[in-house]
Amino acid sequence: MTTIAIIGGGPGLGRAVARRFGREGFDVALISRSRQHLDERVAALSADGVNARGYVADGRDGEALARALADAAGELGPIEVLQWSPVPAREFMKPVLETSAEDLVGPIEMSVYGPVNAVRQVLPGMRELGRGTILLINGGSAVRPGPNVTGTSVAFAGESAYGQLLHDALAPEGIHVAQLIIPRGIGGGEPSHEPEALADRIWELHAQHDGDFRTFVEPMDA
């Protein structure tokens, strides 16, 4: 049995992805900052018939993140799929002319250092398996910078560059790296942006295990 580790395992997309992969036989490791929220989400997944466990770590804390991923692999089984999808903090999103260098520290820690630390922890296990999928879930500012969301625009650009480089470097090893761009946010009544529909797209990115690095849920607005 192998595991999907979801970093940013919230009640919307995180739960939907956990349920989708759980139906395919995966164990699920949810990694988030709040023990209370994790316990609630694990209980809900257990009621859905998914074998899940929660691990507390802040994506900006490399040591805590590495411990959580190591514990998940030890308790549930090898991590075959890593999903990086933490929700950006509100303070990361300021207008460009109000953004200082200090304001960029948090976004970069979360969206650049975080994925690098997570990938370095799980990559040896994926190589032992001979397969793996690394999924980066981003909003539209990853490809089209927004003047009022400067922190995420800058940090997501770095995450995108890192992901593209990983995609090219790891493809010969059978490890697929994919980025899913959700242009208009999760939910809101648009069918393709609802959590369950997004979870199906994310499953397809893993199951197809080939193709381009970047996929759009829908085309970006002109």
User: Which tens digit of pLDDT belongs to each residue from 130-171?
Assistant: 999 999 999 999 999 999 999 999 999 999 999 999 999 999
- Mean per-residue pLDDT over the chain, rounded: 93
Whole-angstrom Cα distance, residue 78 to residue 133? 12
Euclidean distance between CA atoms 200 and 217, whole angstroms: 11
- List the structure tokens of 74: 């030890």
Q: Three-class SS of residue 216?
A: strand
Q: Where are the beta strands (DSSP E) in 116-174?
A: 132-139
Of 33-37, 86-90, 94-98, the one with minimum mean pLDDT is: 86-90
Whether the Cβ atoms of residue 160 and residue 143 lie closer than 8 Å to each other: yes
Domain-by-domain residue ranges, the chain?
A: 3-216
Q: What is the pLDDT of residue 140?
A: 92
Whether 155 and 104 have beta carbons less than 8 Å apart is answered as yes
The pLDDT of residue 186 is 84
- d(CA 104, CA 125) in angstroms, rounded, equals 32
Does the structure show a pLDDT above 70 at 222?
A: no
What amino acid is encoded at 213 in this protein? F
Q: Give the pTM.
A: 0.95
13's enclosing H/E stretch is helix 13-23
* pLDDT at residue 174 is higher than 80: yes
Residue 47's pLDDT is: 94
| pLDDT class of 9 with cuts at 50, 70, 90 | low
Q: Which residue carries 């003047």 as its tokens?
A: 147
∠ CA 36-42-55, rounded to 5° = 65
188 Cβ contact partners less than 8 Å away, ≥ 6 residues apart: none
3-216: which CATH number, 3.30.70.890, 3.40.605.10, 3.40.50.300, 3.40.50.720?
A: 3.40.50.720
**121 pLDDT band (50/70/90 cuts)?**
very high
What residues contact residue 193 under an 8 Å CB cut-off, 6+ apart? 182, 184, 185, 186, 187, 217, 218
